Structure 1
Amino acid sequence: MKKYYEEFEPGQTRSTTGRTITETDIILHAGQTGDFFPHHMDEEWCKTQPFKRRIAHGTLIFCIAIGQTAGEINEVSMTYGYDRLRFIRPVFIGDTLRTEVTIKSKNEHKRPEYGLVVEQVHTYNQHLELVMACEHLLLVEKTR
């Protein structure tokens, strides 16, 4: 797929299907990152904490949310970075996440053959509560 800078319009949206968070997700992410904090790994300790149960790593939720949005490869676009990442509510084992992406803005880039597209990314749980938000910056080729 090729979607050039000129084809992006602020306000365009797309949504993903659901993805349920499992204990396996948390265990694998802990092993990959080395983050074995008790908030994620120790059920008994968590019972003494405000949420009363284990929570998923914020970085796990970020990775899953962004992965949900990567259904098609745009050959003329690449990730430039992420801004304003926030973990708004905890995510628990058994929660099902869906992600919505809205084109927020388009800007010129210092490299004139590219433009910068900013996507607003919102991830919701099964109760439609916002759990994560960020801005995804895309460097996108202009038509020639």
Structure 2
Amino acid sequence: MRKEFFEDCTVGEKALSPGRTLTETDVVLFAAFTGDWLPIHTDAEYAKSSPFGERIAHGLLVLTVGSALLLRLGEAVLLPKSTIALYEVEKVRFVAPARIGDTIHTESEVIRLTPLDPTRGLITVRGEIKNQRNELLATFTLKGLVGRRPVETTS
């Protein structure tokens, strides 16, 4: 059963997301949306002479898709239904480029649970984004703001 509240989560809990293939359309739409038209992402001829030998996906596209995959874990989802907002992303490191056509997935672990007040808490998750060859592309830590189980009162 999918978790409902902060209290349903456990430090050390791990999950593996499904994969998602990064497409030409993803890269073009990301460039258009953000205005990041750097030729390493959008110009095949230019990219041939780059250290990568071909176009690569934007790092922030990889991070965005990789972190969003945490929400597609089905029954193993780390963030509960009561998730309110993304609170913080930190310790992002891009280790290797993702190429158009790579299928990425995210391996994640709950590393900290921090109660904030009677109604909210923070779940800290460490993630590793890998490609179809299980090569590490990026690492990150994020904090999700989530609801706590309501306290029952007696009247």
Structure 1 unaligned spans of 5+: none
Report how far residue 2 of structure 1 moved: 5.2
Structure 2 unaligned spans of 5+: none
Per the alignment, residue 18 of structure 1 pairs with: 19
Q: Find the aligned partners of 1:38 and 1:141 in 2 and give their Cα distance.
A: 43
Q: TM-score, normalised by structure 2?
A: 0.83
- Deviation per CA, 1:24-59, whole angstroms, max 9, x where unpaired? 111111111110001101111112211111110011
| Paired residue secondary structure (2:71) | coil
Q: Find the aligned partners of 2:91 and 2:54 in 1 and give their Cα distance.
A: 27
Asked if 1:88 is matched to 2:103, the reply is no
Q: Find the aligned partners of 1:29 and 1:14 in 2 and give their Cα distance.
A: 27
Structural mapping, 1:100-111, within 5 Å: 100-109=107-116, 111=117
| Paired residue secondary structure (1:133) | strand
Alpha-carbon distance change, 2 to 102 in structure 1, aligned in 2, over 3 angstroms:
closer
Per the alignment, residue 64 of structure 2 pairs with: 63
Q: Find the aligned partners of 1:69 and 1:141 in 2 and give their Cα distance.
A: 17
Letter in 2 for 1:92: R
Aligned residue pair count: 143
Alpha-carbon distance change, 127 to 54 in structure 1, aligned in 2, over 3 angstroms:
same
**Percent of pairs identical after alignment?**
33
Runs of 4+ in 1 over 4 A off after TM superposition: none
The 8 Å contact of residues 6 and 80 in structure 2, kept in 1 or not, is answered as no
Q: Which segment drifts farther, 10-19 or 52-61?
A: 10-19
Q: Find the aligned partners of 1:139 and 1:23 in 2 and give their Cα distance.
A: 33
Q: Pairwise CA RMSD of aligned residues?
A: 1.7
Q: TM-score, normalised by structure 1?
A: 0.89
| Alignment match of 1:97 (pick from 92, 100, 104) | 104
Letter in 1 for 2:62: I
| Alignment match of 2:143 (pick from 132, 137, 144) | 137
Q: Which segment drifts farther, 132-141 or 122-131?
A: 132-141
